[in-house]
Amino acid sequence: MTNTTPDCFVTEKAGAQPLFAVRPAGLEAFLAKLQAKQADYLRASGFTGAAQELALLPGAGGIAGAVLGLGDDSSPRAFGDLAYRLPAGKSWALQEGDYDSGAAVLGFALGAYRYTAFKPPKRESARLVLPPGQERAVSEAAAICLARDLINTPANLLGPAELAEAALRLAAEFKAEANCIEGAELERAYPTVAAVGRGSARAPRVAQLRWKGSRAGTGAPLIALCGKGVCFDSGGYDIKPSAGMLRMKKDMGGAATVLGMARVLMAADLPIRLVVRIGCVENSVSGDAMRPLDVIRTRRGLSVEVGNTDAEGRLVLCDLLAEASDERPDLIVDCATLTGAARVALGPELPALFCNDDSWAGRLLAAGRNRHDPLWQLPLWDGYDSWLNSSVADLNNISSKPFAGAIVAALFLRRFVAPGVNWAHIDLYAWNDQTQPGRPEGGEGQAIRAVCAAIEQSVIAS
């Protein structure tokens, strides 16, 4: 896998060209401060300060600087395509302007990312002089790029063992406790994870990470993160068509996302206790694979009829949620590339949020808006809960009706969360179908900044 932080920052200002960022309302004042020839050039070229507009300033040595138009965009996206639009290999120093420096640093870094494990980029990126005090932006960029790297890695190179190892490496980086459960212990402790992974030659496992901030006492808030880590999803015996299987290396995007969240929270040294669990499996077809209408036991003791082997993600998560909620954390967040229904409802850029606590839902949604990392809430509609009924088991893993697939999946997961425990479920896409500013085509770490900001704000408020 590639480095988790893009190689796009420098600390030395010497030789760096000035980079200005301007909004339309401030354009005339900006032009008045420029050299007359440069101002005349911008006016003659029709520069307006619109979002994503970029002009290179002429000078005696050729290029004397660059001007980026921001329009009314205050998000990191405004700076998201600079790394490959500015001259290759050059260093640039941000100048003061009407923008947030953290957003600029984050956007530049996210746009500079490319997955280069097998193919170098077509050209070298530009580099940004890192302004002081931007540790959080760099940390968030590193976390998102970690998630992207994991999601982008081909499934033949990232199986359950390798995904679990990535969690253990992250734990070692931040001196967290970590362990990996597999074999007979996995069968006992996480029977549904074992059932999903039984069809693959690559054995399933659960990776756990426990960490406590340097200022966290024994009563510090306990945050639990759970991630679906299906390294490849064939659909099992209910096999997917080839088009539906094409991007299933990204079906571990939930696990990659919670590892990114954990990285941000630990790097910030928040006064919390953190527990991360990821179920690392491959959903394959073999003589040992689970079959339609099999009945499996869960950690919670509930029996589940397998109505569809391609609804495996909720089986991976349910045992993790049961264990996490039994510890009575202040909040559980689970992340998963769980349903196509969520994408039909909200598209690829809006992760669906389900939450059993209105206060936490409000915090998460507000943080998503403020950090330009949006979530959209869908309901845990009790009226659909009976759709999970089974005639032979406590519940089925799929609905008896063809509607509201994302809601029904969330209701399935809710059965395994202990009463009274705050829980948020995020159904995400974890992928960019095409390159946009700050979001290159491929794996994407969605909701990382929103969730971490909501947790941090809650800790500060308490």
Of 212, 273, 299, 314, the catalytic one is 314
- How buried is residue 309: exposed, middle or buried, by Cβ count under 10 Å (0-12/13-18/19+)? buried
Which of 74, 104, 133 is the C-terminal boundary of a domain? 133
Q: Which of 133, 163, 194 is the last residue of a domain?
A: 133
- What CATH number should be reported for the domain holding residue 425? 3.40.630.10
pLDDT at 6: 61
Domain assignment present for residue 325? The answer is: yes
Residue 316, both tokens: 């991976």
Radius of gyration of the chain, Cα coordinates, nearest whole angstrom: 24
- Alpha helices, H only, 116-218: 135-152, 160-173, 183-189, 191-197
Q: In sequence order, what are the beta bridge partners of 212?
A: 273
Amino acid at 411: L
Asked whether the predicted pLDDT for residue 5 surpasses 60, the reply is no
Token pair 């990535």: residue: 166
- Known catalytic residue: 249? no
43, part of any domain: yes
DSSP assignment of 18-50 equals EEEEE-GGGHHHHHHHS-HHHHHHHHHHT----
Q: Say if residue 254 is in the same domain as residue 328.
A: yes
Which distant-in-sequence residues (6+ apart) come within 8 Å of 120 by Cβ?
A: none
Q: Which helix or strand (DSSP H or E) is residue 113 part of? A: none
Measured between its terminal Cα atoms, the distance across the chain in Å is 39
Indicate if the pLDDT at residue 1 is higher than 90: no
**In-domain check, residue 247:** yes
Judgement on whether residues 311 and 425 belong to the same structural domain of the protein: yes
User: Do both 286 and 420 map to the same domain?
Assistant: yes
Averaged confidence pLDDT in the chain: 96
Report residue 43 as tokens.
């006016």
Calculate mean pLDDT across residues 72-85: 97
* Domains in the chain, number: 2
SS3 432: strand
26 domain residue, yes or no: yes
Q: What's the pLDDT tens digit per position in 284-334?
A: 999 999 999 999 999 999 999 999 999 999 999 999 999 999 999 999 999
Pick from 461, 341, 331: which is nearest to 399 by CA? 341
In this structure, the answer to whether residues 212 and 341 fall within a common structural domain is yes
pLDDT confidence bin for 3, thresholds 50/70/90: very low
| Active-site residue identified among 210, 240, 297, 414 | 240
pLDDT > 80? residue 462 = no
Q: Which residues contact 153 (CB under 8 A, 6 or more apart)?
A: 1, 117, 162, 249
181 within 8 A of 204, measured Cβ to Cβ:
no
Residue 10, number of CB atoms within 10 A of its CB = 16
Q: Kind of pairing, strands 442-443 and 431-432?
A: antiparallel
- 86 touches 66 (CB < 8 A): yes
Domain co-membership, 170 together with 230: yes
Q: What is the CATH number of the domain that holds 106?
A: 3.40.220.10
Residue 365 lies in a domain: yes
The residues, any chain, with a CB within 8 Å of residue 246's CB and separated by 6 or more, are none
Is 240 among the catalytic positions?
A: yes
CA dist 333 and 427 (Å) reads: 11
Distance, in Å, from the CA atom of 289 to the CA atom of 281, rounded to the nearest integer, reads: 12
Assess whether 14 and 145 both reside in one domain: no
Q: What is the pLDDT of residues 220-279, one digit of tens each?
A: 999 999 999 999 999 999 999 999 999 999 999 999 999 999 999 999 999 999 999 999
Q: What is the residue range of 39's domain? A: 9-133
Per-residue model confidence (pLDDT) at position 461: 84
According to the model, what pLDDT value does residue 2 have?
Answer: 40
Residues 44 and 81 in one domain: yes
Q: Which SS3 state, helix, strand or coil, does residue 84 take? A: coil
User: Strand order of the sheet with strand 295-297?
Assistant: 295-297, 303-305, 395-396
Do residues 105 and 242 share a domain?
A: no
Distance of alpha carbon 169 from alpha carbon 244, whole angstroms: 32
DSSP letter, residue 401:
S
- Domain membership of residue 93 (yes or no) is yes
With respect to residue 1, please indicate whether it lies within any of the assigned structural domains. Answer: no
Verify that 223 and 253 share a domain, yes or no: yes
356 and 373, same domain (yes or no): yes
| Structural domain includes residue 3 | no
Does residue 451 register a pLDDT over 50?
A: yes
| Strand duo 273-283 + 205-212: pairing | antiparallel
- Which of 114, 133, 152 is at the close of a domain? 133
205 and 349 share one domain = yes
pLDDT in tens, 28-71: 999 999 999 999 999 999 999 999 999 999 988 789 999 999 99
Dihedral of alpha carbons 161, 164, 168, 170, sign: positive
| Tens digits of residue pLDDT in 103-129 | 999 999 999 999 999 998 888 999 999
Query: Are 309 and 427 in the same domain?
Result: yes
- Which residues partner with 225 through β-bridges? 276, 333
